[in-house]
Amino acid sequence: MEPQESSRFTRAAHRIAIAMLAIGAAAMFVFGDRPGTHILPNGAPVHKRVVVSYWEEWTGFEGRAMEHIVNEFNASQHHIYINMVEVSNVNIKTLISTAGGDPPDLVTIWSGIMGQFISYHALTSLNTLVRHHVVTNHTFVPFAWKLCAPYGRLYGLPATTDPNALYWNKILFAKAGLNPDKPPTTLKQLGEMAARLTIIKSDGTIRQAGFLPMEPNWYAPDWGIYFGNHIYDFKTGYFRIDTPQQLAAYRWLQSFSKRLGYQEVDSFQSGFGQFNSPLNPFIDGQVAMELQGPFLANFINRDNPSLIGHYGVAPFPTSFGPPGAATFGDCDIWVIPRGAKHVKAALAVLKFFIQQKNLEYLNDKQAKPSPLMKTSAQYIRRNPNPYIRVFDRISRNPNVQSLPPSPIWPRVNLQMTVMANRIWMGASVISQIRHAQFLADQWVQRENRLAKLRLRQELQR
Amino acid sequence: MNERITWREQLAGMAFAAPYLIGVAAFLVYPLAMSLYYSFCNYSMLQPAIWIGWTNYRHLLTDHAFHTALWNTIIYAAISVPFTLTLSLLLALLLNQPMRSAGVYRTIVFMPSLVPLVASALIWQWLFNADKGLINAVLRPVLHVLGREILSPLARALDAGHGTVASLRHIEPPVWLGDPHWAMAAIIFISFWGVGQTVVIFLAGLQDVPRELHEAAEMDGAGAIHRFFNITLPMLSPVIFFNLIMGIIGSWQIFDVPYVMTGGGPGRSTLFYSMYIFEAAFNQLRMGPACAMAWIQLLIILFLTVLAFASARKWVYYA
């Protein structure tokens, strides 16, 4: 290329680059997001309002329920506007945005991450709500309060609660010659009934299972609860995995795979569909009894209405007391991440969210019991879950256990799931739980050492 | 002709290169440097990093899950890379034959590579379904006939125990994704599904092999097999080498398919290296060990690549 041509080319390229940048800047100016560009549901623009960015973990009908409350709030006053976004994988995204210093003002998170977020100071304390008597430790059901304020200081507010209970299929009970109105009241009875409800085909494969402790796999680390174990020591921060109760629990779990054959069960389970689909094994009658949360009722209503009235819900049996003497419960929790830009406005939003009518509306739509201790009669009547009274009673039980508020819980939880899987496949129960205990102890000690090191460094600074 | 570059041209050159250089510095060099630093720190992302020296690396020596992930990845790479290369080469040789509708066959072989990995993982999940999957639907009658008509009578003739004879009469296909032994086999098998890209590269290489070499060898009386081993393979060796390097890198980074299909189970039998890094970093907030693992992964891949380059002197022929 001649020098003259070259400089002509450079000039042309310059002009193109500048023109492209100018077009980009103009487009951003015209179409870009600016404060005050949010639109109210009635079409009016939001002027001079504080915009609270809110990440909601649910999509679908659960998300719609939350959206309704958000719209109510936005229409109720002229100072704050909630910009709600439904976010998948909300825990990881909240973590990354908090680490990056640009979190949303308000998030609904899964409770599994509370321990890490609290331990690593990633949440804004909500104690101001306690100081101003907006909430007390008697406002919410005990296990929900414990999840939000595990060591006395409040870091979140419960949005919904999911205590577990036993679902049983009355049609299958009747077919097996069992009283359809009498669920098992002891774990021994549950095993016996499960055996009667299980149907094996002539070729040895399973056609119907009475009860499968590994269906679904979510509750694999929690079976010790029904044998009287408390997995977490709140005083020491250590885990109790190799206790006699755990040993009994996982021997009991293994007895099912020994009886049915884990390969046969696995083959049978591989035909199950998604939890929230008509191919859910309880919904389509492949499994007669199941440990589940209240939300299953919503999917029964939607995917197999013919089952309504033909299934029952009762507290799950325990080895050491009456059914429901202990169970597992979980929550969706509203939190304000550290670094949120509109904390005051977010607190005002939270005050609105936890009003009785709003919490009841949200939990109604999700077929769950309200986290509030005080509930209205119409809420119980209106709830689409026919067994809402049972779940409501269970959730008020002080013996409901929830996820440990430990920063290493996700690691221990995973190890315990692997442990349960291996036990299910025939591994030695003792060696598996001892191994899990050994690892958990090691991780706690390591975490404690690091916490001390961090404290020392902070003091030096 | 004046060959000196004016300052204006220098400025223009730098301005044009700047977006790339800034991008590389911001999104590659800086994260690499920080990940190396964090690999020597306790870092949860939510609190400032604390320097702990070699502790993360030392703890990995006793981390059972890390050993499992490392071993699973070694097994996967050791089996899938050579098999994928061989299969791709065989397919390329077939597709390189003069035939009608060659383009259609080539498209068919390449098409699976266009399917997003998550989508193909979901499809394979159903294909491998033990109860209702297509693979077992085909295998089941075959195994039943094989057991009933051949293996069971054979066992009886050999005076095997009654239990053996009876069990051979009802051979069931594997519970692919629920059995720790078969789950890994299934994941390896799926790696063959995406051979399309490797086949295309081999095809291009095959078409570059000079025709006259084949014609000369043919005139000298060399048969097809001789020509393949003495002409095609040596001429193709740079392409095989390239595919080998890409295969090694790809196999050590496997993530999507096992993450969707098995989540690492059953009992961590399909937990792969990259999956464990993700688990440690984003679920357990152990960014330090995750960065340490990432650097070990980089060093392993680097070592294998250097090894491949060192061996290349002996078997790669650059015409």
Question: Quick one: A50-163+330-401 is in which CATH superfamily?
Answer: Periplasmic binding protein-like II (3.40.190.10)
**Interface check A444 vs B, CB under 8 A:** no
Please report the sign of the dihedral spanned by the C-alpha atoms of residue A60, residue A61, residue A62, residue A63.
Answer: positive
Give contacts of B 219-248 with A, CB under 8 A: none
Query: Which chain A residues touch B64 with a CB distance below 8 Å?
Result: 439
CB B95 within 8 A of CB B102: yes
**Interface check B212 vs A, CB under 8 A:** no
The total number of residues shown for chain B amounts to 319
Average pLDDT (B61-73) is: 95
Q: What are phi and psi of A386, to 5 degrees?
A: -65, -15
Q: Is B129 close to A203, i.e. CB distance below 8 A?
A: no
| pLDDT in the model for residue A32 | 67
Three-state DSSP at A110 gives strand
The model's confidence at residue B88, banded by pLDDT at 50, 70 and 90, is very high
| pLDDT in the model for residue A391 | 96
Q: Is B175 close to A6, i.e. CB distance below 8 A?
A: no
| Whether the domain at A50-163+330-401 and the domain at A165-329+405-447 fall into the same CATH topology | yes
From the list A14, A271, A453, the residue facing B129 with the nearest CB is A271
Average pLDDT (B247-262) is: 94
The model's confidence at residue B152, banded by pLDDT at 50, 70 and 90, is confident
Burial of A303 (0-12, 13-18, 19+ CB in 10 A): middle
CB A154 within 8 A of CB A126: yes
Q: Where are the domains of chain A?
A: 50-163+330-401, 165-329+405-447
Contact residues for B155 (Cβ-Cβ < 8 A; gap 6+): B164, B165, B168
B125 to A3, A27, A179, B258, B269: CA distances (angstroms): 62, 44, 39, 10, 16
Q: Give the residue, B99 or A160, on which the prediction is more confident.
A: A160
Taking only the tens place, the pLDDT of each residue in B268-311 is 999 999 999 999 999 999 999 999 999 999 999 999 999 999 99
The candidate with the shortest Cα–Cα distance to B165, out of B181, B180, B147, B178, is: B147
The model's confidence at residue B89, banded by pLDDT at 50, 70 and 90, is very high
Q: Give the residue, A28 or B140, on which the prediction is more confident.
A: B140
Average pLDDT (B157-168) is: 76
| pLDDT in the model for residue A372 | 95
Q: Is pLDDT at B32 greater than 60 in this prediction? A: yes
| CA dist., res. A167 & res. A171, Å (int) | 12
Taken in order of first residue, the domains within chain B and their CATH numbers are 1-32 (no CATH), 59-116+182-315 (1.10.3720.10)
| pLDDT in the model for residue B64 | 92
Mean pLDDT by 10 residues, chain A (461 residues): 62 80 83 59 67 93 93 92 93 92 95 91 92 89 94 94 96 96 96 96 89 89 95 95 96 95 87 86 95 94 94 96 93 96 95 95 94 90 92 94 93 94 94 96 94 85 73
* Mean pLDDT of the residues in chain B: 91
ipTM, two decimals, is 0.83
| pLDDT in the model for residue A3 | 55
User: Could you write out the DSSP letters of every residue in A430-442?
Assistant: HHHHHHHHHHHHH
Which of the four CATH numbers 3.40.50.720, 1.10.443.10, 3.40.190.10, 3.60.40.10 does domain A165-329+405-447 have? 3.40.190.10
How far B64 CA lies from chain A's nearest CA (Å)? 9
Phi-psi region of B91 (alpha: psi -120 to 50; beta: other; left: phi over 0): alpha
| pLDDT in the model for residue A33 | 59
| pLDDT in the model for residue A460 | 81
From the list B9, B283, B284, the residue facing A10 with the nearest CB is B9
A228-265: b (≥16 Cβ within 10 Å) or e: bbbbbeeeebebbbbbebbbbbbebbbebbeebbbbbb
Q: For residue A312, how far is the Cα from the chain centroid?
A: 23
Which residue type does A249 have? A
Q: Is pLDDT at B200 greater than 90 in this prediction? A: yes
| Local structure of residue A39 (DSSP, 8 states) | B
Q: Is A116 close to B44, i.e. CB distance below 8 A?
A: yes
User: Could you write out the DSSP letters of every residue in A189-257?
Assistant: HHHHHHHHH-EE-TTS-EEEEEE-TTSSGGGGGGGGGGGT---B-TTT--B--SSHHHHHHHHHHHHHH
User: Could you write out the DSSP letters of every residue in A412-429?
Assistant: HHHHHHHHHHHHHTT--H
| pLDDT in the model for residue A39 | 59
| pLDDT in the model for residue A12 | 79
Query: Which chain B residues touch A407 with a CB distance below 8 Å?
Result: 44, 285
Token digits of residue A424: 């299910």
Burial of B14 (0-12, 13-18, 19+ CB in 10 A): exposed
Contact residues for A298 (Cβ-Cβ < 8 A; gap 6+): A61, A366, A367, A384, A385
Label each residue of B41-74 as H, E or C: EECCCCCCCEECCCHHHHHHCCCHHHHHHHHHHH
| pLDDT in the model for residue A34 | 58
Give contacts of A 255-294 with B, CB under 8 A: 263, 266-271
| pLDDT in the model for residue A10 | 67
**Interface check A421 vs B, CB under 8 A:** yes
**Interface check B177 vs A, CB under 8 A:** yes
Q: Is A263 close to B179, i.e. CB distance below 8 A?
A: yes
Three-state DSSP at A330 gives strand
**Interface check A440 vs B, CB under 8 A:** no
Q: Is pLDDT at B162 greater than 90 in this prediction? A: no
| pLDDT in the model for residue A7 | 66
Strands (E), A93-219: 106-110, 157-163, 165-169, 199-200, 206-211
The H-assigned helical ranges of A283-355 are 296-303, 343-353
